[in-house]
Each structure stands twice: as C-alpha cells, then as structure tokens.
Amino acid sequence: MRLLTWNVNGLRSLTQYYPWCEHKNFKTILDTLNADIICFQETKITLERLDTSMAIIPGYDTYFSFAKGKASYSGVAIYVKINSIKPISAEEGISGLLNQSSTIFNQSDQSTTSNQSINNSNITNITSNTSNEYHNNLNFSTEELLNLDSEGRCIILDFKMFVLFNLYCPHTASQERLFFKIQFYKVLLNRVNDLIQAGREIIIMGDMNVTHKEIDHCDPEKFVKEFGLKSFGEHPLRKMFDKLVSPNGPLIDVCRYFHPDEKGIFTCWSTLINARPANYGTRIDYILVSPGLMKWFKSCNIEQSIMGSDHCPVVAELYDTINENGHIYTLKEETNVDGSSTPRLCAKYLPKFMGSQKTLKTFFTRSDEKNDAKLKLILSEQPENNQMENNNIENIELSNQMENEDLVNESLTPSNNDNNDLSVSKELSNTKNISKQTTTSQKSIASNSTKSNVRKTKKKTELEKNQRSLVSFFKQQIPDKISNNDYSIKEKSVSIEEHNQLYQLNQLEELPSDSSDKSQNEESTQQKNIEEIKEIKDNLVENCKEIPTTSFNNNNSETISQWNALFAPRLIPKCKVHNEPCKEYKVNKPGPNQGRRFYLCSRPIGNTKEDQCDFFEWVKGTNKNTSTLKRKNVDKDKEINSRQNKKQ
C-alpha cells in the first residue's frame, strides 16, 4: 500500500500545469500518482465550486474540508481507493466539535451539513465522553476551538488499524497568525496524546509549516539572524513541534527514519526567487507515525521530480505482509472492514451530488421523470418527425386531389334527391378550402424563410460595406486624386465668425429686388450695401492665411528612427561574476523605492559559487518617488525647528 501527501497550492489550478494539463480527467491524475490514500493540502476550493469531476471519481471515495466564509483559501482533501482500503468513520476538524454541528449551530436538518459524527469508534469516545475535561485541559472556549476548525485544515479518518490525520497547519505571516498556529498545535498535541492513551495507532500526513532540524533548512544561519534568535531550536513553533516528534514526542518522522543524515531533501521552494532549480528550500511536509506502525513501513521518499506546485509530494510504502514472532500478518486483514457503510462525510453524500439539493434548473423543468424521458425522445426524433410531416403534407394534397375527382364523378351521375346534390357541393367546397389552406401555409413558411435569409444577407452586406477591417488601420491612407497636378493644394483657414459674416452677406446679395415697388432712395441704399459687402469680402480674403501643402513622403527616416528609439528594447546588463544577462525585478515593498526596477543575477539563489552572485543595479529612468522624499525632508525641517525653539 502507498500513502501520498502533497500541498497542491490549488486543486483546480493543478490541471493547468505540465504534465497534469495533458490528462483528460482527474481520475487519470490520481491513477498516475499511484497511491491508495492521497492527501491534498491547500485545495483552495469551496463547496459551491466543487463539481463531480473532482468529487465523484470512479474507484475513489473523496472527503473534503472547506474554509468557512473564505474563497480560494486553505482546505484539505483525501482520496481513498475503494478496492484497497475503506474507513470506518470520518471526522472534520481538529477539535472534534464539528461532529456536534447540529447542536452547536442549531441546524435542524443534519443532512445538509458536510460534517458527520463518528459512530462505534474510539475517536468518539475521546471527544464526546470526556469533552468537558478536553476543553478544561486546553483552557479554550468553544468559540476559539470552532475558530480553529473554520479554515478547513483537518480531516480525520479511522481505518480500524490506524487513525489518519490530513493536516494543513497555519502559516506564520504575522504575530496574530503565530498565536493562532500555536493554539492549533496545542489542540493537535492534546488530541494525539488522547488517542495514544486509548491504545490507537496514528498516522499524520500533511504540510506542518515547520522545519524540524537545521538539516531541513537551506540556510539556517540566515533564519536565526532574521528572527534574532540565539539558536535554531529557540523558535516557539519548533519547540511545539519537538513535543510532537521523537525523541521528545510520541511520533516518528518516517522520512528521517529512512534518511537520517541526507541533506537537500526539501519539499517546498519559493517561486518568487525561482529557488527550486538550485534546491534552495525547506522540508515542511511530513509523514509522522506512532512507533507501533513502523514495522509495516517499507520506505519513505520525497518526489522532487513531480511538478505542478511550489511543494512536492512525500510518498511512503507499506508491506503487504509482515512476520512477527513466527506469525504472519496481512495488511488487508488488519484493515478489513467488510459490512461497514461509507462514512457520511464522503462527498457522494453531499446534497448537491445526491440530487436532494434544488438548483435554479429544477424550477424551469418538469419534475416527473416520465415527462423528462418523453421530452428527450421527442427531441431526439425531431429530424425524423420533420421528414414525416413533409411526407404527410404531400400525401394529404394527393388524397385531396383524388377525393375531388371522385366527388366530381359522383356529381355527374344522376341522383334522385336534390339533397344529395347539395351535400356533394358542400363537400367539394370543404375539400378545396383544406387544400388551399395547406398550400398557403407551406408558401407562407417558405416565404418567411426566404425573407429572413434576404434580410440577413442585406445586413451582412451593409455591415461589410460600412465596417472597417483591422488591416485598414495599419495601411497607409492614399490621398484623393488631384485633377490639376500643376497647382498645389491650398486650404484657407477661416474663423467661425468670419464664415458667418460671409454667409450673411451672400444671403443679402441673393435677395430679390423689385424695382417697381421700391423707390429710388431704396435702390441707392442697396447699391451702397453691395459695395460695402464687396469691400468686406476683399478684406477677408486678404487676411486669410494659406496652409502649406503636406508632402506624402513614405520614406521619412527621421520619424522612423525616433519611433524605433522609443520602442527599442532596454539594454540588459550582465553580471560581473558569471557574465550572463541579468533578470529584472520590481520593488513592491512600501517606501521611497516602491515601483523602482532593478537588475539581479539571473541564476537561482543558493549557497555555492555557481548560484546567484551579489550583482545589483538600478534600471535607468525609474527615479525614486520624489513626493515621499520631499515629505520626509519637510518633516525633518519641522523637527529641527521645533528642537531649536525648545532650546531657546
């Protein structure tokens, strides 16, 4: 049997990286990992975004724990191969209080919750029977314990032979998170000690977010200096971890058990500085086991070649059979739980996958399954029905023609009663109306289809005529053809006021003059006005300035060189040690240099000479933030003036 733990840094994003992007579905990814129990950390998935492609996988039972109220944050998952092993019971959370979710959160329907209490198990006896002692020993309130379990960091499965913990311990990004992490470790230690006292064997797998020894860190001296410690083991989290792992704790680090002095077996690397190629990382992912199970373990290795995350998997193998004091024990017999049902925490029992949870789609579809089946059959037989309808229309028309001919023949035959003649004439008229209706309906359908097609083609042609293509924006615009090549193009720029004056004067010139109705005085005034108009026109024309003609020269070397200089790539310097092109970085830390860019050696960070050197150079043109510097100078001047005033 194989056990695997891996911090995937996003379960959905795993399929975007090579080689996992080449897999058709999530089942093939699990099959290539080739493990019977697969523990994922930092899944960054919520219940709303979880779909069947990741939750309902053939051959596997899945168990999820989600962060409450936080999207794309934390979360753990366990995939168990059904044919290999099966859990008796399952539990979410490190404290055990989430099993009492119906009483804590006052929820009436327990089927809607993802948590299920563990029945017929020693785990329940510890958390339920001694719950008061459990909380009193920790001195934690129920709110604090529920807060620890609100980030989806723990799933516990009982496999009869052992109890499995899948953990994603908190990261210490601040002092508040450091306190939160210490609390989490205290509850974990208390839970492990209670299980061991009850006679249970334990396996802890996951991202513990702690380096145990100096050999597990790429640069322990730098770590000690940054935190201001006297030694590597003085950190409070490392002290807590020492209480969990041997020689001071009850559990054994399986990887160090098989590789006690091996260096460089790291499981996590910083992606910001590209530290993985130089193996400049830390070992924070573990498989911890109680001493009674070590006889079953065959090996434990770190799979650094598996990509897709900033972490790599840790894999442990177990023997199928062992011989102890002449008696042979098999792993299947020790973990055999035939007859027991799958725990309710399994993802297949979630309401959204059982069909009990209503979605928006259900409000717009029929509830009866028979009606749904009929609709599917009707939709699948639509093309055949259309052909049958066309054939039926043709048969109706032929039958109508035949009936008309028969009726005509009957009308020609002698009849004794006049009533028969009337009935025949009525039938003829009815049949004619039916045939007309069928033909007109067909014609209307055909005409409507042709009209719609014509409208579509017209719209397309209009759009094609009016719409400009992308190529037109990059082509050189050809000027309009000039009829007189001897004369240059001259454009006169006239202001708006002058244009209005000319327009008014032209209107005055075009006014009709009736000499018969007007007196001689009026004629003289009109002539004066016309002379004034001509003088104004001449003045305007003389004052207009000519715009010089623009030359359409395609080969303008000056403009081309200027544009090339603007978009030319920046010259990247080379580091002095390796003589290789440097890599550009940007300052994101708040301060006077925020936003500035600089060059560093392109090689990954490490402790050897072949790794990154000390080359540093600011990118030219990225000046400091002058506003912040001015403020600092002003503040300094104020402080100096205030001090001088106080002294005086």
Nearest partner of 213 among 265, 271, 153, judged by Cα: 265
Please, which residues bridge with residue 158 across strands?
A: 89, 163
Predicted confidence (pLDDT) per residue in 548-593, tens digit: 544 445 557 778 877 777 777 778 899 988 889 998 889 988 889 9
- Cβ atoms of 76 and 40 within 8 Å: the answer is yes
What CA–CA distances, in Å, run from 197 to 134, 201, 242, 548? 14, 10, 19, 99
DSSP state of 106: T
**How many residues does the structure list for the chain?**
648
Q: What is the C-alpha to C-alpha distance for residues 106 and 113, in angstroms, rounded to an integer?
A: 11
Q: What is the C-alpha to C-alpha distance for residues 71 and 204, in angstroms, rounded to an integer?
A: 26
- Residue in the block written with tokens 């003045």: 539
Nearest partner of 184 among 173, 195, 169, 171, judged by Cα: 169
Coil, helix or strand for 155? strand
637 is catalytic: no
* Kind plus residue range of the DSSP H or E element containing 524: helix 520-543
Name the catalytic one among 36, 60, 311, 599: 311
Span of 39-43, 300-304, 396-400 with lowest mean pLDDT: 396-400
Radius of gyration of the chain (CA): 43
Is 538 annotated as contributing to ligand binding? no
Q: How many domains does the chain have?
A: 2
**Could you tell me which residue, 68 or 7, shows the higher pLDDT?**
7
Q: Is residue 278 part of a domain?
A: yes
Nearest partner of 604 among 91, 305, 218, judged by Cα: 218
Q: Is residue 566 part of a domain?
A: no
Is 336 annotated as contributing to ligand binding? no
- Cβ atoms of 20 and 29 within 8 Å: the answer is yes
597 CB-contact burial (10 Å; exposed 0-12 / middle 13-18 / buried 19+)? middle
DSSP state of 627: H
> What is the model's pLDDT at position 70?
83
Is 466 annotated as contributing to ligand binding? no
CATH number at residue 208: 3.60.10.10
Predicted confidence (pLDDT) per residue in 220-237, tens digit: 998 898 888 889 988 989
Q: What is the C-alpha to C-alpha distance for residues 623 and 241, in angstroms, rounded to an integer?
A: 46
Average of per-residue pLDDT across 508-516: 49
Name the catalytic one among 60, 79, 168, 280: 168
DSSP per-residue codes, 188-224: HHHHHHHHHHTT--EEEEEE-----SGGGBS-HHHHH
The torsion angles phi and psi of 95, rounded to 5 degrees, stand at -90, -25
Predicted confidence (pLDDT) per residue in 311-322, tens digit: 999 999 999 999
**Could you tell me which residue, 362 or 191, shows the higher pLDDT?**
191
DSSP state of 300: E
**Could you tell me which residue, 341 or 430, shows the higher pLDDT?**
341
Coil, helix or strand for 596? coil
Nearest partner of 217 among 231, 228, 203, 206, judged by Cα: 231
* Kind plus residue range of the DSSP H or E element containing 275: none
Question: Using 50, 70 and 90 to split pLDDT, how confident is the model at 421?
Answer: very low
Q: What is the C-alpha to C-alpha distance for residues 279 and 265, in angstroms, rounded to an integer?
A: 9
Both tokens assigned to 444: 């209307």
Q: Is residue 345 part of a domain?
A: yes
Give the contacts of 251 (CB within 8 A, at least 6 positions apart): 192, 202, 204, 244, 245, 288, 289, 290
What CA–CA distances, in Å, run from 149 to 144, 434, 594? 9, 76, 38
Q: Is residue 357 part of a domain?
A: no
* Helix and strand counts by DSSP (H, E) for the chain: 19, 21
Q: Is residue 96 part of a domain?
A: yes
- Residue in the block written with tokens 């106080």: 646
Predicted confidence (pLDDT) per residue in 87-122, tens digit: 999 999 998 888 764 333 333 333 333 344 433 344
Span of 256-265, 345-354, 379-388 with lowest mean pLDDT: 379-388
Question: Using 50, 70 and 90 to split pLDDT, how confident is the model at 440?
Answer: low
DSSP state of 480: P
- Cβ atoms of 354 and 111 within 8 Å: the answer is no
168 is catalytic: yes
* Total-model pTM: 0.62
The torsion angles phi and psi of 299, rounded to 5 degrees, stand at -165, 165
CA 30 to chain centre: 21
Domain boundary among 329, 349, 369: 349
Is 209 annotated as contributing to ligand binding? yes
Coil, helix or strand for 513? coil
Q: What is the C-alpha to C-alpha distance for residues 59 and 35, in angstroms, rounded to an integer?
A: 12
Predicted confidence (pLDDT) per residue in 258-274, tens digit: 999 999 999 999 988 88
Question: Domain containing 134: what range?
Answer: 2-100+126-349
207 is catalytic: yes
**Could you tell me which residue, 605 or 126, shows the higher pLDDT?**
605
> What is the model's pLDDT at position 331?
92
What CA–CA distances, in Å, run from 1 to 80, 339, 617? 11, 22, 54
Q: Examine the pLDDT at 190 and tell me if it is beyond 70.
A: yes
Q: Is residue 298 part of a domain?
A: yes
Q: Examine the pLDDT at 622 and tell me if it is beyond 60.
A: no
> What is the model's pLDDT at position 111?
34
> What is the model's pLDDT at position 365?
66
Give the contacts of 637 (CB within 8 A, at least 6 positions apart): none
**Residue 300: count of CB within 10 angstroms of its CB:** 20
Coil, helix or strand for 318? strand
Q: Is residue 371 part of a domain?
A: no
Q: What is the C-alpha to C-alpha distance for residues 123 and 199, in angstroms, rounded to an integer?
A: 11
- Cβ atoms of 300 and 314 within 8 Å: the answer is yes
Domain boundary among 349, 373, 408: 349
What CA–CA distances, in Å, run from 143 to 65, 91, 140, 146, 272? 19, 19, 8, 5, 37
Question: Using 50, 70 and 90 to split pLDDT, how confident is the model at 132?
Answer: very low
- Mean pLDDT value across the chain: 75
% of residues, the chain, pLDDT over 90: 38
Is 42 annotated as contributing to ligand binding? yes
Is 7 annotated as contributing to ligand binding? yes
Q: Is residue 266 part of a domain?
A: yes
Pick left, alpha or beta for residue 401 (phi over 0 → left; psi -120 to 50 → alpha; otherwise beta).
alpha
Q: What is the C-alpha to C-alpha distance for residues 145 and 165, in angstroms, rounded to an integer?
A: 17
Q: What is the C-alpha to C-alpha distance for residues 365 and 435, in angstroms, rounded to an integer?
A: 39
> What is the model's pLDDT at position 625?
44
Name the catalytic one among 207, 216, 253, 285: 207
Predicted confidence (pLDDT) per residue in 451-506, tens digit: 555 555 555 555 555 666 666 666 655 555 444 444 444 444 445 555 555 555 55
